[in-house]
Amino acid sequence: MPLHEKDLEIGLLLDFYGELLSDSRREAAELYYNEDLSLAEIAENTGITRQGVRDSINKAKAQLYSYEEKLGLAGKFRQVEKTLADLTARLERLRSVLPEEERGELDEIIRETQSITI
């Protein structure tokens, strides 16, 4: 997995499990992964050493992966997102073959499916 995909994965895990981390680990991970600050910038902002920041981020990352392994919430979220996208695409294909006068209810179902936010 390319580095930027790992960064996105950690960002998603932070959304789900960030509140379970200690304040210092959460802050360091959020600054690094979500705000794209360097280790040196985080160290300067937080008053801890660069190595301390690195350790905090690595420990946060390990905890986040552990939570996901046990709870699987981010994986379930991605699956629901994929299923909704697939359903919407299938409904739109079905809509395209229906006569105009029969599309009303299907249009409503498509709008409802697209409006689902998790």
Tens of pLDDT, residue by residue over 15-40, are: 999 999 999 999 999 999 999 999 99
Cβ proximity of 105 and 54 under 8 Å? no
φ/ψ (deg, to 5) at 37: -85, 150
Closest CA to 33 of 14, 55, 12, 7: 7
Mean pLDDT of 72-79: 95
Q: Does domain 3-71 have CATH number 1.10.10.10?
A: yes
Enter the pTM of the model. Answer: 0.79
Question: Which two three-digit tokens encode residue 72?
Answer: 């699987």
Check residue 1 and give its pLDDT: 45
